[in-house]
Structure 1
Amino acid sequence: MTGKRTHTGMVTLASAAVLLGGGVIAANTTTKKVKAATTDYVKVLYAANLRQGPGLKYATLRTLNQGEAYKTYTTQQADGYTWYNLGGSQWVAGAAVEPGTGTPAAGSATGPTTTQTGWVTVNTAANLRSGAGLTYGVVRGLSQGEAYKYFATKQADGYIWYNLGGDQWVAGVAVTAGTGLYPGNGTSSGSNAGNNAGGGDPIVTPTPNQTGSVRVNYAANIRQGAGTSYAISKTLAAGGTYSYTAAQQADGYVWYCIGNNEWIASAAVTVVSDAASGGSGTSTPGNSVTPPANQTKVAAVIALAQQQLGKPYVWGGKGPDVFDCSGLMYYIFLNAAGVNIGGWTVPQESSGQSVSLNALQPGDIIFWGPRGNTYHDALYIGNNQYIAAPEPGDVVRIQTISPGFAPSMAVRVL
């Protein structure tokens, strides 16, 4: 976050974040194995990288969130830090955590991801999240009666979470889990592995309509077949409406055929009626209604923001490799739409038309704090989600608007 840059302690935290992100390697790069950890768990003080080994040279697996707590198994010294093992090849640096003894507070994560396979059936409509926990963004909704293979489990926020492939997790409160043969059709839970390149291929799902129209909500990849394993042939901008001539399930999505070997995933589109698509519903497959110029620019801004996901937060950063919140907004609007909105939050408040938070559209900038003294902003991308560079120690990522951290105003630049 950054506003008038009057924050105290930012430089210290940012420096620590760079160290944890691998930007600076300490002189002591040797790894020394020591005895088993004398602590029972560690609590995450702020967002930190979980690595494949005890040292900055190891690849990052994912980001741990502030407030989570994990059981520890052993420790090692490397690169000037004590590294805590959270199970298997999962390590976190001591600079980002606080060790503790006994049992972590209820509601926090209490263990590493456990590799396990089976199936889950959805008992009630549920959110599929990008990580194991309520703080992760919602990828899409799951419907009652669907069934999915799962590949791992994890405890977080008082639930068991099931991994449906890639960054797709569902809480156990909404599903029933089983192993071995799936009882609904008598086939093995791995029988559809051939269509499961991205994980999460549903075993049983409702059959989609085989013809109709879809409207593209976000810039989206067109693939040469129905699944994430197929090559990308082109990218569509948001706003177009397309007729589809076939639909099928793969990799956790419905895929719509909008042309010869041209398929688009349901995550980026909305199925529309003939009236909603302009009255005819007869657009030629592979050819869309031309979107307005501003929608094309919005799609370009969102696409450029998505390309920055995973890049580290550095206070004052304006790209292309590091960002703070307003620096990210400045970079994407300037480079994707050719609009200079100013370099920090307050001038960005006046970069467009004020809009109600109840009427947000993809491409709007949302702000936190009172007008004239905002301290954080982000790009709204629809479905109650936004892309932001959150804070020191974190990376650019997709987040979900929540009542506990709700924006105070919004501006429409395009």
Structure 2
Amino acid sequence: MKKVILALGVSALAVSLNADKSYADSSAVVDVSALNVRSGPSLNYSKIGVVYRGSSLNVIETQGEWSHVELNNGSKGWVYSSYIKKSGSTSDNSTTYDTGVVNVSYVNVRSGAGNQYSVKTVASYGTKVTLLNKSGGWCNVKLSNGTTGWIYQKYIDFGKNSETNNNNNNTSNEFNSCNGKVTCYANLNVRSGPSTSYSIKTKLTYGQVVKLIDKSNGWYKVSLSNGITGWVKDDYIKITTEDVTNTGGSGNNSTSYRSAVVNLAYSLLGTPYAWGGNGPNYFDCSGFTRYVYLHAEGKSIPRVSYQQAEIGTFISRGNYLPGDLLYFATTGTGKTSHVGIYVGNNMFIHASGSASNPDKVKLSSLEGYYGRVLLGARRF
């Protein structure tokens, strides 16, 4: 008898969820033929009912790609956010929501409202977005290609459109000043105007961080710490929260030194591994690092990996810079048995392999295995 009553109760709930009532402008509307309502924000939670296209929902909160909603009968549950839209939206994709544009060079569009969520795509400066929802400083938006996702609110200017932000009269009043990091491995020209037809005033090196004060037609205007201003192509700049690099620096910690080390390391990608290889046609791990430091800036370091890990200045994790030597314990002994060169963005280049299983010079991440066996870093 209890099972019969329970079944009837679930059936009655499903019917009540589908009631087609009028809804206020602030409510959301089901935008698919049938939408499951679940007891929690995941497919792992049980289905507690179904609502159909046009049914009214009041969005209470969002969590990741899910919305906590209240139905017309007062019941509450979770639905997938991509399948609902604000009341008043029409089938031709017009909407009553606010629109805005991305105000930084590139920004990650994530699957949920937080940096811990995966990146679905990347939106560039001037991309027009439609606001769907907000949660904790994050905006759930829809891009012009139909992709939906979450962008941190400060990276969107609302009340503007892409045509206004991309015109040639773009001034620093329309551009939010921020820091940018050089991403190209060759020296980046700083020109007197936003075009290759203008003269070169100076050059930037890989990893250098500069102040961005304006943007025009695919070019950033930069302000350097030594007082020089000029224009660089936005293709080679990534928005960052890192501090501006002191362009007056010199010596082994300067960006020119680091750029030379990283550039040479990248140029050797794909070179075959061979035990005892010193280059340039074959390398083992320590032969590779020794070759790069010697030929990039004339720095002679020991030949063996554990000896390389004992010279220079120890650098704590989280403070690595491109060009630093990384050393690892890959044999299970806890002692240095492998080395590589850090190139930024949690990546490093190394000659991977062994005498019995040779590989090549390759780019690897410090996430996963190599992050677990990493012992430290040295700066020369």
Fold in common (TM above 0.5): no
TM normalised by structure 2 equals: 0.44
TM normalised by structure 1 equals: 0.41
Where relative contact order (Cα < 8 A, 6+ residues apart) is larger, the structure is 1
Q: Max radius of gyration: which structure? A: 2
